[in-house]
C-alpha cells in the first residue's frame, strides 16, 4: 500500500469521526431543545370540585419524567395508569408545548353524614370521598347512621343495624331522580328508611324500596297539601294498600336525643286513612279512603 493510499484512508477516518461528532452534537442540541420546549411550565386543572388542584398536580407529576409534556401525553394516552380513588375519568391534553390541561371527572357524591361536626361525603358504593367542614349544596344528608372511625377513600363503616338500609340507600339516589322526588331529609331508624318530602314523612320499611318509590308521586298528588305520615312498609307482594296518618309523624331521632319533640305520636288516635296504590291513585279510581278512627 502506497503512501498516498494511506493518507487517503486517514482522511476518510477523520471525516468519519468528525461526522459522528457533528451528528452527536446535533442530536444533543435537538434533545436539549426538545426537553426545553416541552418542559411543563404550567398545569391547568378543570372539573374538580372536592379534589384539590394540588392533589391532582402531585398525582400528575408522581414520576421523574412527568416534567416533560410529551411524556405525559404518551403516559395518559398509551399506558395503563392508576387514578386517584375519587376520580372517575381524566383527560390530558396540551394547550401549548409547555402548558398541560387536565380535565377531571370526579366520582359522583351520593350523600353525606355528619361526624364530629365534619361533613363526610360518600359515593354510590359507600366509599368516603371527602371529609370537610364545608357544606356542599344539593347533596342529601343521611341521618341516623351509626358509623365507626371514618377513613378517606375507604368504605363507610356503618353499624350492623344500619347496614341493610345503607345498602338500599346507595341504590336509591337514581330512583329518586327518576321519579323526580326531592326529599328534604332521609332518616334511617335501624334498618327502616324514612323520607321527608314537604309536609309528609314516607316510611319505606326495611325491604327493597324500588317498587314502593314508584308509588310515591301519584299518592302525593292525591293527598295534596295534607300533612302526615304515609306508610309504604307493607306495600308489595300483592298488597297494594297503603296507609296515611293525617297530622301524625314518627318521633324524630334528632329531636329525641335533645329531649325535643316527644309528642310525635300523640295524635295517633285522630285517625288514619287507607290510600289506594299509586296506579289507582293516578287514575282516580277506587275509594278515597276509610277513616280508621283509632289510628295505628
Read off the pLDDT of each residue in 84-108 and give the average, rounded to a whole number: 92
Q: pLDDT at residue 84 above 70?
A: yes
Q: Per-residue pLDDT tens for 171-206?
A: 787 788 889 998 988 998 888 889 999 999 999 887
Confidence class of residue 1 from pLDDT cuts 50, 70 and 90?
A: low
- Is 72 exposed, middle or buried, given 0-12, 13-18 or 19+ CB atoms closer than 10 A? buried
- Residue 294 has a pLDDT of 36
User: CA–CA separation, 16 vs 211, rounded Å?
Assistant: 84
Is the overall model pTM greater than 0.85, yes or no?
no
Q: Output DSSP code: residue 296.
A: -
Q: Which residue has the higher pLDDT, 171 or 128?
A: 128
**Per-residue model confidence (pLDDT) at position 266:** 40
Count Cα atoms within 13 angstroms, Cβ side, for 232.
Answer: 25
Q: Is 215 exposed, middle or buried (0-12, 13-18, 19+ CB in 10 A)?
A: buried
The confidence band for 76, taking pLDDT boundaries of 50, 70 and 90, is very high
The partner residues of 44 in beta bridges, in order of sequence, read: 101
Query: What confidence category does residue 4 fall into, taking pLDDT thresholds of 50, 70 and 90?
Result: low
Q: pLDDT at position 262, please?
A: 39
3-state secondary structure of 105: strand
Q: Nearest to residue 70, comparing CAs of 26, 36, 103? A: 36
Distances (CA, A) of 31 to 37, 93, 189: 10, 22, 66
Contact indicator for 151, 164 with CB cutoff of 8 Å? no
Structure confidence by residue, pLDDT tens digits, 228-284: 999 998 887 778 878 999 998 888 765 544 443 334 444 444 455 566 554 444 333
What proportion of the chain, given as a percentage, has pLDDT over 70?
78
**For residue 139, what is its C-alpha cell?**
347533596
CA distance 80 to 168: 33
What is the chain's mean pLDDT, rounded?
80
Beta-carbon contacts of 39 under 8 Å, excluding residues fewer than 6 positions away, are 67, 68, 69, 98
Amino acid at each position: 500500500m502506497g503512501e498516498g493510499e494511506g493518507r487517503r484512508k486517514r482522511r476518510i477516518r477523520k471525516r468519519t469521526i468528525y461526522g459522528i461528532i457533528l451528528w452527536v452534537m446535533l442530536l444533543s442540541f435537538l434533545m436539549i431543545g426538545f426537553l426545553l420546549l416541552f418542559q411543563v411550565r404550567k398545569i391547568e386543572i378543570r372539573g374538580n370540585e372536592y379534589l384539590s388542584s394540588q392533589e391532582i398536580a402531585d398525582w400528575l407529576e408522581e414520576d421523574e419524567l412527568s416534567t416533560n409534556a410529551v411524556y405525559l401525553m404518551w403516559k395518559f394516552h398509551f399506558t395503563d395508569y392508576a387514578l386517584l380513588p375519587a376520580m372517575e375519568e381524566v383527560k390530558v391534553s396540551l394547550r401549548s408545548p409547555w402548558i398541560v390541561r387536565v380535565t377531571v371527572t370526579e366520582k359522583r357524591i351520593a350523600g353525606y353524614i355528619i361526624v364530629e361536626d365534619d361533613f363526610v361525603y360518600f359515593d354510590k358504593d359507600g366509599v368516603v370521598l371527602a371529609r370537610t367542614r364545608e357544606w356542599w349544596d344539593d347533596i342529601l344528608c343521611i341521618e341516623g347512621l351509626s358509623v365507626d372511625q371514618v377513613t378517606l377513600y375507604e368504605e363507610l363503616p356503618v353499624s350492623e343495624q344500619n347496614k341493610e338500609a345503607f345498602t338500599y340507600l346507595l341504590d336509591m339516589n337514581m330512583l329518586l331522580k327518576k321519579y323526580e322526588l326531592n326529599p328534604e331529609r332521609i332518616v334511617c331508624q335501624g334498618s327502616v328508611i324514612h323520607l321527608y318530602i314537604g309536609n309528609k314523612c314516607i316510611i319505606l320499611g326495611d325491604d327493597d324500596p324500588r317498587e314502593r318509590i314508584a308509588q310515591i308521586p301519584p299518592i302525593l298528588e292525591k293527598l295534596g297539601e295534607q300533612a302526615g305520615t304515609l306508610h309504604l312498609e307493607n306495600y308489595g307482594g300483592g298488597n297494594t294498600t297503603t296507609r296515611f296518618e293525617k297530622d301524625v309523624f314518627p318521633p324524630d331521632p334528632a329531636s329525641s336525643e335533645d329531649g325535643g319533640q316527644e309528642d310525635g305520636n300523640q295524635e295517633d288516635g285522630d285517625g288514619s286513612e287507607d290510600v289506594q296504590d299509586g296506579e289507582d291513585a293516578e287514575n282516580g279510581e277506587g275509594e278515597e279512603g276509610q277513616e280508621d278512627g283509632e289510628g295505628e
